[in-house]
């Protein structure tokens, strides 16, 4: 079972890194929305392409715009923080238990 445990540990590490990188992308998207960035800039297009589909899913379920302020990035970062502090460590402990044979 140690192979499955090590596989879970590796996937957990990749998931945690992906969530960290996506948080940075969300922060970049928020900064871009504050400044008048060129919408044809390739970097801006990639950032919008990565964040807008997720933003739309959240905006369909919850009213996130209050006045001129869109709270979607904040909600998404809170969801990522929950995953990183609750689900990722639990998966890591399961993987460690399988790798050590204690589960």
Q: Which residue has the higher pLDDT, 37 or 80?
A: 80
Closest CA to 11 of 95, 99, 75: 95
| Helix orientation angle between 42-61 and 2-34, rounded to the nearest 10 degrees | 100
In this predicted structure, the answer to whether residue 103 has a pLDDT above a threshold of 80 is no
Mean of per-residue pLDDT scores for the chain: 93
pTM of the full predicted structure?
A: 0.88
């Amino acid at each position: 079972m140690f192979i499955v445990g090590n596989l879970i540990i590796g996937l957990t590490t990749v998931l945690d890194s992906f969530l960290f990188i996506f948080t940075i992308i969300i922060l970049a998207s928020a900064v871009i929305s504050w400044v008048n960035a060129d919408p044809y800039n390739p970097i801006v297009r990639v950032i919008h392409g990565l964040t807008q589909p997720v933003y739309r899913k959240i905006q369909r379920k919850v009213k996130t715009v209050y006045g001129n302020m869109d709270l979607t990035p904040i909600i998404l970062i809170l969801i990522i923080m929950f995953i990183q502090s609750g689900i990722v460590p639990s998966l890591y402990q399961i993987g460690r238990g399988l790798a050590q044979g204690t589960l």
